[in-house]
Amino acid sequence: MGKTIKKIAAFFILTVVVFLQGKDACAQQDPMYTQYMDNMQIINPGYAGSNNVGNVLMVARSQWVEFDGAPATRSFTYNIGAEDKNVGVGFSLMSDRIGPLKQTGFYADYSYFLRVSEKFKLGLGLKGGVSFYRANLVALETVDSDPIFSRDIYENFLPNVGVGMFLFSEDTYFGLSVPKLIENTITHEDVTVDYINKQLMHLYFIAGHRFVVSEDFQLKTNGMVRWVSGAPVSVDMTIMGGFRDKFYVGGMYRFGDAYGLLTQFKPSPRMTIGYSYDITISELSAFNSGTHEIMFSYDLDLFNRNREETANK
């Protein structure tokens, strides 16, 4: 009876995830972000310190609102650069929940910068840290009582490392990264669920350019391609228009999945507040009220280096 219940529970978890995530469920494990252009440290360690300004970034994403068990993601990052030493460091905290499944992670980033031309620098980055995965059966309502439902069936300590390259100038950037190189196996006794039995490598390519149309008007274009084995390639395109580099508004399109609106406001040179709203165009569009994402960024030099110069960048 116990093994039967375990198999039913495993099937239930897999079904929930497949239904939530669609065809990509068994492959795409890393959380997605609409405002990825401001949250690049999560996926590319080569970005850490590239602005030579200490920066705190917080993102809260609630996906598929009003859908029971929908994904909810929270992330916190900090990075800072030392221009005189051509290095950058940072760290990130992340929590991602989908139904009874939850992953949390802590990672540290290190980057080294090379001058490759008069305008461009290349950041070579390393990422290292640990993730924890859990499938919480305690929260599930069951008809028949069984000891298996009195505890979580997955709980793992999973170390990992990643690499990234970030080529950038004042107005242009290109990035290529693999945040997790080790495909850790996640198992618990005799229960196996395809979605969470292995950490799969995700490959990211990001690019963007800022056009200065006039003193009052700027235009930002950004794109991201995400690849993981067993899933269709995910492509995001974003364009935003800005007024005096203080207020931006624009749109995004995630091919075959969603489109949405983005807006950002800089109440001070140090602070940026962003909001995005996605509308699903896949089969799940009839079951949710869209996706909300809030971003808060603040330039903070923890080492008190030249604060006046930092604030004006």
Judged by phi (left if over 0) then psi (alpha if -120 to 50, else beta), residue 306 lies in: left
Would you state the pLDDT for residue 280?
82
Nearest CA to 17 out of 160, 271, 194 is that of: 194
From 128-137, 209-218, 259-268, 294-303, the region with the lowest mean pLDDT: 128-137
Would you state the pLDDT for residue 67?
62
Would you state the pLDDT for residue 312?
46
pLDDT one-digit tens code per residue, 146-183: 544 445 556 678 899 999 999 999 999 999 999 999 98
H or E element that contains 10: helix 2-21
Structure tokens that stand for 152 in this block: 């979580």
Would you state the pLDDT for residue 256?
86
Structural domain boundaries, residue 181:
32-300
Across the range 9-37, mean pLDDT stands at 54
Domain assignment of residue 151, yes or no: yes
Say yes or no to pLDDT of 79 above 80: yes
Judged by phi (left if over 0) then psi (alpha if -120 to 50, else beta), residue 153 lies in: alpha
State which of 61-65, 132-136, 206-210 shows the largest mean pLDDT.
Answer: 206-210
CATH number, domain containing residue 166: 2.40.160.40
From 2-11, 211-220, 297-306, the region with the lowest mean pLDDT: 2-11
Domain assignment of residue 16, yes or no: no
Domain assignment of residue 289, yes or no: yes
Q: What is the pTM for the complete model shown?
A: 0.81
Domain assignment of residue 25, yes or no: no
From 10-14, 42-46, 49-53, 287-291, the region with the lowest mean pLDDT: 10-14
- 67 or 57, which is more confident? 57
From 67-71, 85-89, 306-310, the region with the lowest mean pLDDT: 306-310
Would you state the pLDDT for residue 197?
64
Would you state the pLDDT for residue 246?
93
Domain assignment of residue 150, yes or no: yes
Distance CA 155, CA 132 (A): 7
Domain assignment of residue 128, yes or no: yes
Domain assignment of residue 164, yes or no: yes
Which amino acid, one-letter code, is at 135? A
Judged by phi (left if over 0) then psi (alpha if -120 to 50, else beta), residue 149 lies in: alpha
Across the range 68-72, mean pLDDT stands at 72
- 66 or 301, which is more confident? 301
3-state SS track over the chain:
CHHHHHHHHHHHHHHHHHHHHHHHCCCCCCCCCCCHHHCHHHCCHHHCCCCCCCEEEEEEEECCCCCCCCCEEEEEEEEEEECCCCEEEEEEEEEEEECCEEEEEEEEEEEEEEECCCCCEEEEEEEEEEEEEEECHHHCCCCCCCHHHHCCCEEEEEEEEEEEEEEECCCEEEEEEECCCCCCECCECCECCHHHCECCCEEEEEEEEEEECCCCEEEEEEEEEEEECCCCCEEEEEEEEEECCCEEEEEEEECCCEEEEEEEEEEECCEEEEEEEEEECCHHHHHCCCEEEEEEEEECCCCCCCHHHHHCC
Distance CA 202, CA 222 (A): 19
Q: Give yes or no for a contact between 30 and 112, defined as CB atoms under 8 angstroms apart.
A: no
Distance CA 202, CA 248 (A): 30
Would you state the pLDDT for residue 208?
97
Domain count, the chain: 1
Domain assignment of residue 195, yes or no: yes
Would you state the pLDDT for residue 200?
85
